[in-house]
Amino acid sequence: MSEPRYIEDIFVQMYDKILLKKLSVDHIDKQPLISFYNVLIQGQRITIRQSSFILKLINKYSDKVGIEKDSLTNAVWKKEFRKIDTSRKAFVEKDQENGYYWICLKFPYQLKHIIEKELLGNGSYYYGDNFWDKERRIRKLKLNDYNIIAVHDFLINNNFELEESFFTALAVVEEIWQEQDNILPHSQIVDSNVILKNATKEALNFYNLNCTGNLAQDSFTAKTLGYPVRNISKTILDRLCCKSETQFWIKDFKNFFDVTEQINGKVAIVIDRNCDYIQWCKLFAASLTSYGIDRNNAVICFRTSNKDQKDFNDWVKDNSFAGKVENQKYLLFLQKPPKWLFKDNNNVKILATNNLFPNNIAITRDWLNSHPCVIYLSEFKPVMKDQKIVEL
């Protein structure tokens, strides 16, 4: 009895001849032909649905390349068909190399986009560290970066099988959450005073030296020290002070001044050179007046070329924005801060910018990434990779 021919080999031979003879194929068949060819020459298994498609392609193009259809009569498949794994499982494991714990998810492909949008992120950015383990075919989420309670609810709603390791991690996290008042650094309002909780000795010493008895001012000081205030949420400043994040987005000048005018100390504003910064400064000036802020409290710390934009320099002078910086609250810079700002004793409490994209100036980028309170002041939400920006 002659050795049977394999359908996989027939398809590979057929496509080799198509390439060799540069034969034309229907546009709709180009990608399937390439995909199946790559799968089969690598010795990978196919599904039963894919096998039907491959047979249709062979029947369609075999005459064109000189393969007789009778040769398929005794041909068989070389390998068993691959069964699609539709199981949904979740477990937690420890990476022995670095000590991290990972939530591991096994799921069918049709859940991929749902998990990416509803669990891993919001469609614009990921909430935390995660990656696809190609060999094991599982998605791994760093346990410390994701809310395991929310993950649990998502998995239950999507019929995942949860292993014991997942429930163990869930129980540990829930216990930590129940004890968070005794663990996590935060602050609370007690009898109209802001009190630090679980604070270090250094933080307490600094706070005690700088607290004023003013609720808004002390809440901001506690927040920028890393002790967000838990039991406030009435005003826009309250919403800022109760967040652990350091990057915020405010759409308009009124809300911006609602925050800054309650805080003692300087406010530095770095204006994007790529915008119409002259018009932006004039809008800022009008907003100061509308809010009732004295223009002598603001200084525009840059000038344009007298050759090209002399009118702007005259406008700065005529509108009282050209004074000294010692006693002014609002300092406006173009693209980057000057070196003297860091040399002199200028305690910038709030750093603001109208940048919509990452700044390409190193000193500005580093300052924005390290400052304890950054406000993006723009009509549109900025796009910053790997940074969570809270809308106020």
Is residue 232 within 8 Å of 219, Cβ to Cβ? Answer: yes
Is residue 297 within 8 Å of 329, Cβ to Cβ? Answer: yes
Is residue 246 within 8 Å of 351, Cβ to Cβ? Answer: no
Q: Determine the Cα–Cα distance for residues 83 and 88; give it in Å rounded to an integer.
A: 15
pLDDT of residue 354: 95
Instruction: Write out the E strands in 5-129.
Output: 89-94, 101-106
Domain membership of residue 362 as a residue range: 245-391
- How big is the chain, counted in residues? 392
Q: Which residue has the tokens 């039963």?
A: 48
Instruction: Tell me the whole-structure pTM to 2 decimals.
Output: 0.61
Indicate if 201 and 109 belong to the same structural domain.
no
| Helix/strand/coil for 54 | helix
Indicate if 267 and 373 belong to the same structural domain.
yes
Task: Give the total number of structural domains in the chain.
Answer: 4
Indicate if 387 and 253 belong to the same structural domain.
yes
Q: Which of 242, 265, 287 is the last residue of a domain?
A: 242
335: left (phi over 0), alpha (psi -120 to 50) or beta: left
By DSSP bridging, strand 298-300 and strand 330-334 are parallel
Contacts of 295 (CB under 8 A, 6+ apart): 285, 288, 289, 319, 320, 321
Q: Determine the Cα–Cα distance for residues 155 and 115; give it in Å rounded to an integer.
A: 10
Indicate if 257 and 364 belong to the same structural domain.
yes
Neighbours of 189 (CB within 10 A): 16
Indicate if 290 and 365 belong to the same structural domain.
yes
The DSSP output letter for 118 is I
The DSSP output letter for 229 is B
CATH of the domain at 323: 3.40.50
Residue 83, in any domain of the structure: no
Q: Which of 122, 157, 178 is the last residue of a domain?
A: 178
Q: Determine the Cα–Cα distance for residues 380 and 314; give it in Å rounded to an integer.
A: 30
Residue 189, in any domain of the structure: yes
Nearest C-alpha neighbor of 229 from the set 194, 191, 263, 264: 194
pLDDT of residue 1: 41
- Rg of the Cα atoms in the chain: 31
Digitized pLDDT (tens) for each residue of the chain, 392 residues in all = 455 588 999 999 999 999 988 888 898 898 989 999 999 999 888 988 899 999 999 989 988 888 777 777 778 898 988 887 788 999 999 998 888 999 999 999 888 889 988 888 876 678 889 999 988 889 999 998 899 999 999 999 999 999 999 999 999 888 877 777 778 899 999 998 999 999 999 999 999 999 999 999 999 999 999 999 987 778 999 999 999 999 999 999 999 999 999 999 999 999 999 999 999 999 999 999 999 999 889 999 998 887 777 789 999 999 989 878 888 899 999 999 998 888 766 689 999 999 998 888 999 999 999 999 999 999 998 988 778 899 98
Own/partner pairs, 40-47, CB within 8 angstroms, 24+ separation: 40/8, 40/11, 40/12, 41/12, 43/79, 44/82, 45/79, 45/80, 45/81, 45/82, 46/79, 46/81, 46/82, 47/81, 47/82, 47/83, 47/84
Indicate if 228 and 346 belong to the same structural domain.
no
Q: Which of 242, 257, 284 is the last residue of a domain?
A: 242
pLDDT of residue 57: 92
Residue type, 372: P
Q: At what angle do helices 27-41 and 48-65 cross, to 10 degrees?
A: 110
Indicate if 216 and 106 belong to the same structural domain.
no
Residue 164, in any domain of the structure: yes
Indicate if 320 and 225 belong to the same structural domain.
no
Residue 280, in any domain of the structure: yes
Half-sphere exposure of 243 (CA within 13 A, CB side): 19
Indicate if 142 and 197 belong to the same structural domain.
no
Indicate if 298 and 161 belong to the same structural domain.
no
Q: Determine the Cα–Cα distance for residues 248 and 263; give it in Å rounded to an integer.
A: 16
Residue 2, in any domain of the structure: no
Residue 77, in any domain of the structure: no
Q: Determine the Cα–Cα distance for residues 152 and 170; give it in Å rounded to an integer.
A: 8
Residue 78, in any domain of the structure: no
CA distances 40 to 5, 30, 35, 64, Å, are: 15, 16, 9, 21
Residue type, 163: E
Q: Helix and strand tally (H, E) in the chain?
A: 14, 14
Cα distance from N-terminal residue to C-terminal residue, the chain: 79
Q: Determine the Cα–Cα distance for residues 364 and 270; give it in Å rounded to an integer.
A: 8
Residue 204, in any domain of the structure: yes
Q: Determine the Cα–Cα distance for residues 315 and 370; give it in Å rounded to an integer.
A: 34
Indicate if 95 and 64 belong to the same structural domain.
no
Nearest C-alpha neighbor of 76 from the set 7, 2, 10: 7
Indicate if 189 and 290 belong to the same structural domain.
no
The DSSP output letter for 319 is T
| Token pair recorded at residue 145 | 């970066």
